[in-house]
Chain A
Amino acid sequence: MLDSRELDPATEFRQLYDQQYVSVYRSIRGVVLDSAAAEDLTQETFVRAYRARLRYTPTAPPGAWLRRIGINLAISYLRRQKLARVLPARLYVAPDRREYDRAEARDVVTKALSTLSPKLRAAIILHYYDGLTREEIASVLGVPAGTVASRIAKAVAIMRKSIGSDQDFGPERSTNEGALRGR
């Protein structure tokens, strides 16, 4: 979430780093879905932001400015690595369906996120986690607000379908398995 207290990157960069590090990390991880790469890209985001701190103009909050750098770095990283094509197969490890809890729900969300393209993931994370409006996301991603709206709608439709099929399948199979074992 973006903090209400806005720090000036030119004079308070160190405080901005401490304040924004975790949320920038989460936004980037939401795009790359890889914790180690996300940490590396987060550091790189702040390195690039530090170099550009004197050119920062307060047309957007510093948090949105940092996200713009971070998300663009993350998308470039995925483009370079060509990870987007292999992410679903690499990330998803089938969970134990008998222990259906919040941890599994998180796996389900991660799996659903991995079925989206990096640009759809960026829109979803910026909207639902960072709480940015469509106009703010449009500014971060450098696309029109209408494009953001259609990306969010498309991503939500794909994720609902993916999560719905997972959750529907999971508990029913667990119950059936329990019933069979009980016989």
Chain B
Amino acid sequence: MKVPYVEDKPTAGGSNPPSEDDLSRMIRDTVESWKPQRGPDWSGVLIRLAHSGPPAWLLYTAASAALIVILVTAFLVGSALQIGALGPQPVPSNLH
């Protein structure tokens, strides 16, 4: 695996990077100092569940089914009423 080069020695006037262990500890200390202001709120989850709409997959499935029903109905109605291109077409007389 290619690992990016990191200079350990401080350069003149440059940076003095912490070791990986120090960095790990600093990250853990920082993240553990983060506390949510409201804390766990189960009723909030229930409210969101009650107010949220149907899941996306259900919405897309219902919309696709509705589109298919509309297209099939339009084809059947067009065929029955002989509307437009679904009606009988004139046959060219010069064809044998």
* A125 and B31 contacting across the interface, CB-CB below 8 Å: yes
User: How many whole Å from A152's CB to the nearest CB in chain B?
Assistant: 10
Q: How many residues of B contact A (CB 8 A)?
A: 38
A173 CB within 8 Å of chain B: no
Among the stretches A2-10, A15-23, A71-79, A86-94, the one at the interface with B is A15-23
Q: How far is the CA of A129 from the CA of B55 in the complex (A)?
A: 32
Give A1-37 as 1s and 0s: 1 = Cβ < 8 Å from B's Cβ atoms: 0000000000000100110011001100110000110
Residue on B nearest A124 in the bound complex, by CB: B27
B80 CB within 8 Å of chain A: no
Give A140-174 as 1s and 0s: 1 = Cβ < 8 Å from B's Cβ atoms: 00000010011001101101110111011000000
Residue on A nearest B55 in the bound complex, by CB: A51
B3 CB within 8 Å of chain A: yes
Among A18, A30, A150, A168, which residue has its beta carbon within 8 angstroms of that of B40?
Answer: A18
Residue on A nearest B1 in the bound complex, by CB: A149
* A51 and B49 contacting across the interface, CB-CB below 8 Å: yes
- Interface residues, chain A, CB within 8 Å of chain B? 14, 17-18, 21-22, 25-26, 29-30, 35-36, 38-39, 42-44, 46-47, 50-51, 102, 105-106, 108-110, 113, 124-125, 128-129, 146, 149-150, 153-154, 156-157, 159-161, 163-165, 167-168
Can you sample 8 A-B contacts with CB below 8 Å? A14-B42, A18-B40, A18-B42, A30-B31, A38-B36, A109-B29, A159-B23, A160-B17
- Interface residues, chain B, CB within 8 Å of chain A? 1-6, 10, 14-18, 20, 23-24, 26-42, 44-45, 48-49, 52, 55
Q: Contacts A125-B31, A149-B1 known; list 16 others, CB within 8 Å.
A: A17-B42, A26-B31, A35-B34, A39-B36, A50-B45, A102-B29, A106-B33, A108-B26, A113-B27, A113-B30, A129-B28, A150-B2, A153-B1, A156-B23, A160-B17, A165-B14
